[in-house]
Amino acid sequence: MDDWEKKLFTFLYEPVDRCIDPEGYMERAKRYRELLGVREWEAWIPPVEETPFPPEICPSPFRELRHPLSGGRLEVHIDEEKDEILKIFEDAYKELGERFKGLSEEQGFLYLWRNLEEVIAEKSPGTTWGKYLPLFPADTRAPNYAIWERLRILSALEDNCSLFLFSIGPVQSFIAQARKTQDFYLGSYILSYLTFMAIEEVVDRYGPVSIVYPDLHRQPLMDWFLQKKRIALGSFKDSMLLVPTIPNRFVAIIPTVKSDKLKGLAKLLMEKVRKSWEDAASAILKAFAIQPDPDVEKKLNSQLQEFPYFHWVAIPWRSDGKDVVGIDEFESFFANLKPYREIARGIGGLPYELLYSALERSMGARKNLREFTQPEVLEKGRKCSVCGERDVVFFRESRNKGKFTRYGVPLLDLTGRKEVSLKFLADGEGLCAVCFVKRAFEVYLRESVSRSVFDKLTFPSTAEVACADFKRQVLSQKRKELQEYLKRAKDLFGEAFQEVEPLPKLKADFRGLENLEGEWFYEENLRKAYIEKELGISVDEERLKTLREALKTLYETTRPSSYYAVITFDGDDMGRWLSGALLPSIESTYAPGIWEGFPESLKDWIRGNFPRNADGFTRGLLTPMVHVSISRALKNFALEFVGKIVEEEHLGKLVYSGGDDVLAFVNLTDLFSIMRKLRAAFSGHIRVKNGRIEVNRDNASGFVEKDGRYLLTMGPKATGSMGVVIAHYKTPLQLVIRKAFAMERQAKGLQGKDAFAICFMRRSGEERVAKAHWRGQGVPDVIEALEKLQTVFRGNGKGVLSARFVQKVAAEFSRLKEKNGTLVLSQELFESLLKRLLRRSCEFPPGTQEQEKEGFVDEVFGILNPLFWDLEENIDTFVNFLAIVVFTVKEGE
């Protein structure tokens, strides 16, 4: 692209410090451009649609920020004088000017886009204003979005442009096809990586500002791309590349309205993604020294073509600065266009909200017309061990090869092939081409992304996650004995000793020790036959016996849990957020006194024509700036909070964290804390205290201070739902993942969403489902109540609630409920019965006075009783919750 110069100019069109001194900011912008050696551009700057604003209202001082999605308020306190602050900006631009020397326009733009905020932040430590920098408003009169978003949109808009939406799939069915945790993780990585391959192509042509969603700023794959472009990065660690964070769809502003050009672009993106997928397959075959014969190759290619599929739509926006599409052309998408007609007249153009909603709706219409392609080669052999859909192409089988070969279809025997380790293909396993490439995708990532990051990649197994708390305790209490255990394991397993990465939080504790795969800390697996099957080695009985003895010593501390959890979180109503329907009242987008100063006629016009939100208030419209603010809030959630909660503060491992979605494995000990914090972080109901994230429901501003700067979140009106499955580490993973998605749907099925659903899958096959809203009527925080219950089941010094209480409740109420579980008893009778059961189920330390006993019973009653009424008076749900809580505390009792 030769327009980088123009992009530089528009990105610097207004100064970032405009809010510090709104007088004369245009001259300041010019001066900064001079310092960077950026040429002035006479071209017309396309207007950006903004919140309506009468020009005669004077700039107000920078005293507060308004949250774009909730109307929340953050007071701003700045002690420094404005000259002092502006001096720092001037210095920053001077320094940037030095760094710019020798860079091409493209490099300069990318450098500025990536580092400007960091360069200024580095110059402002200890200042009172520095923490507001990421939120510096574009206009202090309407401080509901940052200047950063405005500059990004300014430099993305052209006289000719279209909105473009592109996605690849399938998502849930593709990632759920997993036998090992590694399949689940790499499936998610593949979707992220392939989508980024398309994004990269767009960025390479039109710059990162062209991508409206997701927010690419500081995304690991984006930083990796910038590195390839030789752009110096302030803060970036290769290891950040481990977590996939790019969602499977993106929205872009493409500078053309010509349909053949848009089609050409879409075709190019699809070809690029497909080529990356094929390259991955070739790289993997090459690394494994596999040379398929023509028949196998034909089959392989035919299967590979089944993934991925694409959807894209584009709507022309502006041609020579004028709207291309008339409002009437949207008639088929909207029931009532009347209000928008009047607005369009008032703001002098097509509202972005309408354009964007039409884009989403036409994508939805296309998706319903999903095309099914017939595989080129007929599938009639043994089905793949992972997906069960396609024929096996590669297998390993040391005993009964006929299992795979008797169908007479082309396939390849990899038994005895040293290059293909058991990690990629277990004995007895047969994989189709798609599942094989997925399983071994790290081999390709080593080549294409980073050797150092993916070289010794091990994704923790379900056993590793389940026993993480056991390992944590053993590391601190029985380190020497653990060392001895590892030594004996090494003697026994020899070359086959499975060293794996521990969960991120335990990494530091393992310093100086090798971490043996979690599976080998369960007594049930230390059997000769099992070891032979899993590791393909024959072991010495005597040595095995001494290993078992060493394990018993470790068990003196505690025993490893056999269960772990999978969680899936997803923001609620994202479609409605993006259509503008949930935006706050228009008055809440302005600084104090501004709306009041509007001429009455303008206020009346807005009130009369603008849409109303769910609360019945006249709301603002979805503008491009609000849209990129949503992208930024979601990016902050995924990159700033999710990883910290799941991997730094707790025993969890992320599979994916991007857009409004999270997928993770978590150890049961930390399950409730992780659930609670994730939900709170999504809506900004947290604070960071002493470097740790705490739930803080009092924070209604939607902004969270972290590492010395305020970050935008989705805000207090946003909600999210979660599906959770607690499963045995040997339960087939595919069942667990599918169940987790099903739980997420169940949670979203509750009235008003904003809920979670937990399925407790016993190894025996018994399932218990418990679902609830995060907040009830009587219980302000349901997960917190469950945590309190954990404490009373564990015993809190004053007393302990026996685990048998759960059976007692189930038995006592079994005839006092309807078939669907609803209680058929008055509140009074229920309460007295519950209290009586509690008295019979609590145990106390010797010498406890009657009064103290009653106090403890009252305390437990105070947790249980409101919880029951919040669970829609459902005995079954109540019992299931109790059973789950007891299980997390006293597994196996």
User: Given the rule CB under 5 A, which residues bind Zn ion?
Assistant: 384, 386-387, 432, 435
Residue 425 Cβ vs Zn ion, minimum distance, rounded to whole Å:
12
Tell me the residue length of the chain: 893
185-to-174, 199, 393, 458 alpha-carbon distances in Å: 11, 21, 22, 11
Q: In 3-state terms, what secondary structure has residue 446?
A: helix
| Encoded amino acid at 309, one letter | Y
Rounded to 5 degrees, φ, ψ at 333 are -95, -20
- What's the CA gap between 246 and 21, in Å, rounded? 37
DSSP annotation of 642 reads I
- Under 8 Å between Cβ of 396 and 385: no
Residue 376 Cβ vs Zn ion, minimum distance, rounded to whole Å:
17
Q: Would you state the structure tokens that stand for residue 81, as one six-digit string?
A: 């004088």
CB nearer to Zn ion: pick between 414 and 503: 414
Residue 433 Cβ vs Zn ion, minimum distance, rounded to whole Å:
8
Query: What are the strands, taking DSSP E only, across 530-623?
Result: 563-571
Residue 388 Cβ vs Zn ion, minimum distance, rounded to whole Å:
7
CB nearer to Zn ion: pick between 344 and 393: 393
- What's the CA gap between 448 and 225, in Å, rounded? 11
Longest dimension (CA), the chain: 92
DSSP annotation string for 190-237? HHHHHHHHHHHHHHHHH-GGGEEES--TT-HHHHHHHHHTT---SS--
CB nearer to Zn ion: pick between 174 and 672: 174
The 3-class SS string of 482-501 reads HHHHHHHHHHHHHHHCCECC
- What's the CA gap between 152 and 272, in Å, rounded? 26
Output b/e per residue, 212-245; b: 16+ Cβ within 10 A: bbbbbbbbbbbbbbbeeeebebeebebebbbbbb
Q: Where are the alpha helices (DSSP H) in 235-351?
A: 259-287, 294-304, 338-347
CB nearer to Zn ion: pick between 432 and 711: 432
Q: Would you state the structure tokens that stand for residue 160, as one six-digit string?
A: 């000719």
Residue 430 Cβ vs Zn ion, minimum distance, rounded to whole Å:
9
CB nearer to Zn ion: pick between 343 and 386: 386
- What's the CA gap between 160 and 561, in Å, rounded? 60
- What's the CA gap between 414 and 166, in Å, rounded? 38
492 closest CA partner among 432, 444, 537, 428: 537
727-to-525, 528, 566, 667, 737 alpha-carbon distances in Å: 18, 26, 8, 11, 10
CB nearer to Zn ion: pick between 435 and 809: 435
Residue entry with tokens 């007071």: 75
- Under 8 Å between Cβ of 703 and 135: yes
Residue 307 Cβ vs Zn ion, minimum distance, rounded to whole Å:
10
CB nearer to Zn ion: pick between 206 and 277: 277
Identify the helix (H) or strand (E) that includes residue 92.
helix 82-100
518 closest CA partner among 478, 458, 461, 563: 461
CB nearer to Zn ion: pick between 432 and 547: 432
Residue 184 Cβ vs Zn ion, minimum distance, rounded to whole Å:
14
Residue 814 Cβ vs Zn ion, minimum distance, rounded to whole Å:
45
CB nearer to Zn ion: pick between 432 and 857: 432
CB nearer to Zn ion: pick between 253 and 384: 384
CB nearer to Zn ion: pick between 384 and 864: 384
Residue 306 Cβ vs Zn ion, minimum distance, rounded to whole Å:
10
CB nearer to Zn ion: pick between 384 and 655: 384
- What's the CA gap between 694 and 227, in Å, rounded? 35
Residue 265 Cβ vs Zn ion, minimum distance, rounded to whole Å:
32
Residue 427 Cβ vs Zn ion, minimum distance, rounded to whole Å:
18
CB nearer to Zn ion: pick between 438 and 488: 438
CB nearer to Zn ion: pick between 432 and 506: 432
CB nearer to Zn ion: pick between 121 and 304: 304
CB nearer to Zn ion: pick between 306 and 514: 306
The 3-class SS string of 703-757 reads EEEECCEEEECCCCCCCEEEEEEEEECCCCHHHHHHHHHHHHHHHHHCCCCCEEE
Residue 389 Cβ vs Zn ion, minimum distance, rounded to whole Å:
6
Q: In 3-state terms, what secondary structure has residue 567?
A: strand
Residue 391 Cβ vs Zn ion, minimum distance, rounded to whole Å:
9
CB atoms within 10 A of CB 327: 19
Q: How many CA atoms lie within 13 A of 850 on its CB side?
A: 0
Residue 434 Cβ vs Zn ion, minimum distance, rounded to whole Å:
5
Residue 436 Cβ vs Zn ion, minimum distance, rounded to whole Å:
8
Residue 384 Cβ vs Zn ion, minimum distance, rounded to whole Å:
3
29 closest CA partner among 48, 55, 10, 4: 10
